[in-house]
Structure 1
């Protein structure tokens, strides 16, 4: 249902618009749903989960009333399992693999995962203990899903772990980059607290490469885990980007999660450029800030968009319009403020390296859309300076790693998450980053154990 527009709207109303959209299961609903599960042997849902959560086991524990055991089962496999319960494309992963798809409807695995982890959060349950110290020091650069997961596993294995996080709070994408009405910050904060309780030292407001050099970390720590994700949205490279009213989608979403609820979107016309999950977030945030009309412009078609299907459907329900085969030509303004955007119609040509057909401008098809704000959501840049400080091999900022060990060209440095996620492959998932963080931790432990043996 589209957000209701009002002539006047208070800050309280705006804040209410950013409350979590989907309610959790009630006790009765969770019990009934858990009892629908067939608890399959060799369950396909486990294989479909990138972190390999033992889904039948955690559901069976819900059915038997063992919610602590259920939460532990989930979080053992996925250190950000509470967040993933809300943001994973479950219909493409575990629920898509459920055997009940062939007869009735799949088990609501994501909702049951949320039910169990919400119970652990509400009851302030610590789930894990640190391992016996082995004296090895590990630095994790980046406190997002990949970094948190690596740190959690390493701490349980007995390593002395320090996370270096550039922001004021750890959690990365889960804390700042996913809209509050889908993932409240309190969920990410709890996952971070679970890691802190394992004696992991989280140093925030520290930019590696600026506040502390790569060489200092190499000198002070036995191993480095690079989990910095990606950086800001790049420039469009068109006229008018400097105008007031042009926003970086990442910073825009972050501002709504930081409590900086903007009241100047009320009744405004907004255009979002791009069609990934971040673009959807920018568009739905605009609706909740009271925008009168929100359009997403994408130079390809719906078939090529990288946003999840459920995100796309959610945006349409909110009233977001989609203009396919449309690209921005220039941003128009008066007195330093955005007043419109000139667009050009596109056609699809031959496939590019990533398999998607190349968009080509249609000559003479220019037209202007009157707008008050433009939100750029065309991907993110890479942390090239930091990568170069470590002298790592990379492809345009995508760090090259051994696919099995996740080691970089510097054997002392490992990488995981978006920093190793290649171009032209859609958008990486939180759950994939979590699994890579776990894999890095276990690789480091295996290599240290082999040396000691």
Structure 2
């Protein structure tokens, strides 16, 4: 975080330590054994399992719930980890209300789905608390794979490759592994340093060397990795931030929401994080919701989210929108930023223009509104940072500003695969990144096996 970015705002000690602890406690407290058994008993164990079809990692949801119901949480955890080795974090952060739980038969019939996410957390928490490892590393193959990025895609890829006996080196640019799980998730969704506990659990299989503080394009380059390793997986996520592109954007108090969330996640004392009295968040996705809610929980008096389209167009789920309003956040629609009002070099407010759809195109109406604000968060999406690739002289094909891949995660470069937010397929979800990393690992393993099985030409 750039030094001084949060100097202005409410002073520290806004709330008591007890209030901070309450505000940032677990959003969904874990189920105890009895609660898990009762909830698992609500499942119909549907033969066609619409919940399973809605899961990007294709976890056998009816099976893992039945295993909980029969008192076998470890068996349940293995069923989950077979498809999603980061099932613990996904249970906490996945928008289950728009995935598996949305299509649950109980939801359709009664409006109250089986709490699949909380049951998944219950089973994986039991296994991780016992440090129960379900997979042994195969005999070493002698093959070496480089994984760029220790986020969900990179970790899932590395674990699956290690299972096959390959040696994996993960190169992570940040001081800690975990990617968005460590730096980009709201603090109340991942408590008790769970992201690092999960990294330790995943890498405990062996054969994975985690190197932190090393960035592609700065400390090493893609052509060198291709020469040194038998395969490379790119899972570096998104490093760029979309700007507002309005007057006054560079004023003090205008902050990238992603950086704010990352700083908050690493904070040891929430009272050390000044926050504006009047906060405005520009955006309509999960990052906007997380920044707004956490600003309120830190003690901001007024927090407003402004989104350029309607409620139904917001990327944040209806559950997340309702969560924000329940915390006192005001969500205003059909507004786009026009200029940041600056006084003495500092943000003092924002002028916004009303918008509407005309023949399917978003246009400004010319009518404006002013909202006072001493802190403005930009949460209008991230972009892939091309500099890490451009500096290498590599020729990875891009599509829509992201790395182009085929159905197995192969890029246009031989020996190079990619997955997660840096590729232009799938949704920007933790569970989707896990699926892409896992599937790319399977493709890499098949490719390496094919090379090993190929006949060797004998010269006359």
TM-score (norm 1): 0.92
1:348 matched to 2:354: no
Q: What is the SS of the residue equivalent to 2:292?
A: helix
Residues 45-444 of structure 1: pairs in structure 2 closer than 5 A: 45-104=51-110, 105-184=112-191, 186-199=193-206, 200-259=208-267, 261=270, 263=272, 265=274, 268-351=277-360, 358-363=361-366, 365-388=367-390, 389=392, 390-402=394-406, 404-421=407-424, 428-444=428-444
Q: In 2, Cα distance between the equivalents of 1:98 and 1:369?
A: 41
Q: Deviations over 1:315-365 (max 9, x none)?
A: 1111111111111111112222211111111121333xxxxxx321112x1
**What stretches of structure 2 of length at least 5 have no aligned partner?**
1-11, 454-460
Name structure 1 gaps, 5 residues minimum.
1-5, 352-357
SS in 2 for 1:278: helix
CA distance in 2, matches of 1:264, 1:332: 23
Q: Separation in 2 of the partners of 1:44 and 1:342?
A: 46
Instruction: After TM superposition, give the deviation of residue 139 of structure 1 in Å.
Output: 0.6
Pairing partner for 1:9 from 12, 15, 19:
15
Compare 379-388 and 182-191 and name the one that shifted more.
Answer: 182-191
- In the TM superposition, residue 220 of structure 1 has moved relative to its aligned partner by 1.0
Change (3 A) 1:194 1:322: same
Q: What's the Cα RMSD here?
A: 2.0
1-structure distance, mates of 2:450, 2:157: 19
SS of aligned partner of 1:331: strand
User: Aligned pair in 2 of structure 1 residues 367, 211: CA closer, same or farther (>3 Å)?
Assistant: same
| 1:303 partner SS | helix
User: Aligned-pair distance for 1:92?
Assistant: 2.2
- Where 1:362 maps in the other structure, the secondary structure is strand
For 1:433 and 1:331, the matched residues in 2 are separated by 35
Mean Cα deviation higher: 211-220 or 172-181: 211-220
TM-score (normalised: structure 2): 0.90
Cα deviation for residue 401 of structure 1 reads: 1.2
Once the two structures are overlaid, the 10-residue window that deviates more, 377-386 or 433-442, is 377-386
Q: How far 1:264 sits from its partner (Å)?
A: 6.0
**Which whole-Å CA distance do the structure 2 matches of 1:219 and 1:12 have between them?**
54
Q: How many residues align?
A: 437
